[in-house]
Amino acid sequence: MNAKKIAVISVFLLVSLCLSLDIPSQAIDYKVTVIKPDLFIETKCEEWVGENSYNVTYVIHNKGTAIALAGHNTTLYVDGTAVEHKPVLVDLLPNETYNDTFDAVISCTDGSDIIKVCADNFEIVDELDEDNNCLENEWQCHGCFIATAAYGTSLHEDIDVLRDFRDEYLMTNQLGRVFTDIYYSTSPPIADLIRDNEGLRTIVRKGLVEPLVYLLR
């Protein structure tokens, strides 16, 4: 083989090698899934447990892509003050929920309380979203003064019906809120009158509250 052939073969091999290394650049669509939990308070509710006191139940939801390990706390704030830090003692799988009730029994102050519940308040869990952990609302904890006086207790199931009507139909519109304000400013002395008079209690209960509850059910 002469030098000319060797040169041609060398050039051919060199070009082939270069072509084989010329990998076409393709756009590779990588979908990166971040593996982290994401806790938030899905719902909460207040429930009367005494004449003027209530507790708070809540549901934590892990909507992330990883387990939220046990050991974080859920915090209850009432009117801006931390009242209780309750530990979560179980692991939460992705999309799993967890129900619990705070031990604190809260006394209603000035007719309404701002209730806020925050998951992982001490930042123990590294999450996809750290800004969605709290749920807050204004809890209208006014008593239903007249009905309570007529029944002699605020825990009767008929009074729950009246509270639900107030929260769902009156407090959700301007006219209803005006009506509620007038009711709360005028009813305490009427309730005092009813409370002390057995005959009047029966009349109000049978002639006013029970028919109203019947219509609302």
Q: How far is the CB of 120 from Ca ion (least distance, A)?
A: 4
Based on CB atoms, which residue is closest to Ca ion, 129 or 192?
A: 129
Q: Give how many residues touch Ca ion by CB under 5 A.
A: 11
Question: What ranges make up the beta strands (E) of the chain?
Answer: 39-48, 53-62, 73-78, 81-87, 97-101, 106-107, 112-119, 134-140
> Rounded distance, CA 66 to CA 62, Å?
9
Bridge partners (DSSP) of residue 11 are none
Question: Which residues lie below 8 Å from residue 139, measured CB to CB, with a gap of 6+?
Answer: 46, 54, 108, 112, 113, 114, 115
- Minimum CB separation from Ca ion for residue 82, in Å? 16
Taking the complex as a whole, the smallest distance from the CB of residue 71 to Ca ion amounts, in Å, to 12
Work out whether 120 is an interface residue with Ca ion (CB under 5 A). Answer: yes
Work out which of 47, 129, 164, 196 binds Ca ion, going by CB under 5 A: 129
Rounded CA-CA distance 162/164 in Å is 5
Binding string, residues 23-42; x marks residues near Ca ion by CB under 5 A: ---------------xxx--
Per CB under 5 A, contacts with Ca ion among 94-113 are none
Least distance (Å) from Ca ion to the CB of residue 80? 21
In terms of CB distance, is 125 or 141 closer to Ca ion? Answer: 125
Q: Report if residue 127 touches Ca ion, rule: CB under 5 A.
A: yes
Q: Does 125 bind Ca ion (CB under 5 A)?
A: yes
Name the phi and psi angles at 23, rounded to 5.
Answer: -70, 125
Residues 204/187, Cβ–Cβ less than 8 Å: no
List, in sequence order, every beta strand (DSSP E) within 120-182: 134-140
Residue 52 tokens, joined: 């003027």
**Is the CB of 122 or the CB of 214 nearer to Ca ion?**
122
| 133 near Ca ion (CB under 5 A) | yes
| Interface with Ca ion (CB under 5 A) | 38-40, 120, 123, 125, 127, 129-130, 132-133
